[in-house]
């Protein structure tokens, strides 16, 4: 079993020490639980609740915003943050690129690409004529959890498929399978903690909409 533990530690434990239910956070608050509880937590952060419009107002990242709490089956799965003031085309391009740099420089996030816009980008034309959508997607870093519990779970999974003798001296094929499983497991955890933003448009004025999503609570066809 000692050799088995070594295999697990080497090929799995090094890349997947994360909790299965580690969820996206907004201002340190887990995007989870009931809508009422989330609104109370946001109010404790200084946001004001507008009951007639069912949104909160306040300042976020240096901007006046409106915040909506979105649920699925009475569980919060999304925090939507919308600029309270619109911008012209030049200003929104600067704001979009500034946000991209802020996320890229924040160690809590993993970028999925380079989303910055060039000075030549004609977003008005592209959005109106070509229906182009300008968005940027990032993953929040998973948080490390109980490593011993994870190793035990990995051991159990591996022993259901291979003998201890096979795992004590794993073939190249088994080693690759363990690597692939660890990578798949890790990427699945990342994808559950998605934060993204996009440019919205109304009457040739522009604004940023940000989404903090808990994909564990997102609708997945269970009500169909």
pLDDT tens-digit readout, 148-174: 555 666 667 777 777 878 777 778 887
pLDDT recorded at residue 141? 86
Do 84 and 65 contact (CB within 8 A), yes or no? yes
Residue 224's pLDDT band, with cuts at 50, 70 and 90, is confident
Residue 112's pLDDT band, with cuts at 50, 70 and 90, is confident
* 3-class secondary structure, 212: strand
Nearest to 3 by CA among 170, 182, 176: 170
pLDDT recorded at residue 15? 45
Write out the two tokens for 31.
């995007």
Candidate from 63-67, 97-101, 149-153 with smallest mean pLDDT: 149-153
Average pLDDT over residues 118-132: 95
Please state the pTM of the whole predicted model.
0.78
Assess whether pLDDT exceeds 70 at residue 89: yes
Write out the two tokens for 10.
């080497």
Do 48 and 57 contact (CB within 8 A), yes or no? yes
Query: What's the CA gap between 136 and 197, in Å, rounded?
Result: 6
């Amino acid at each position: 079993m000692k050799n088995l533990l070594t295999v697990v530690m080497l090929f799995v434990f090094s890349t997947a020490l994360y909790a299965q239910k580690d969820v996206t956070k907004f201002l340190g608050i887990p995007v989870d639980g009931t809508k009422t509880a989330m609104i109370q937590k946001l109010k404790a952060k200084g946001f004001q609740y507008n009951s007639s419009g069912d949104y909160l107002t306040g300042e976020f990242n240096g901007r006046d915003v409106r915040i909506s709490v979105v649920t699925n089956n009475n569980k919060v799965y999304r925090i939507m943050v919308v600029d309270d003031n619109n911008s012209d085309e030049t200003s929104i391009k600067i704001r979009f690129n500034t946000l991209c740099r802020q996320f890229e420089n924040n160690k809590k996030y993993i970028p999925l690409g380079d989303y910055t816009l060039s000075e030549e980008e004609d977003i008005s034309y592209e959005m109106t004529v070509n229906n182009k959508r300008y968005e940027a997607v990032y993953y929040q870093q998973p948080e490390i959890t109980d490593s011993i519990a994870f190793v035990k779970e990995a051991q159990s999974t591996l022993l259901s498929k291979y003998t201890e003798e096979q795992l004590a001296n794993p073939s190249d094929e088994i080693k690759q399978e363990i690597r692939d499983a660890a990578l798949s497991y890790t990427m699945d955890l990342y994808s559950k903690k998605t934060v993204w933003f996009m440019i919205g448009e109304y009457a040739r004025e522009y604004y940023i909409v940000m989404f903090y999503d808990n994909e564990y609570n997102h609708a997945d066809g269970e009500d169909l």
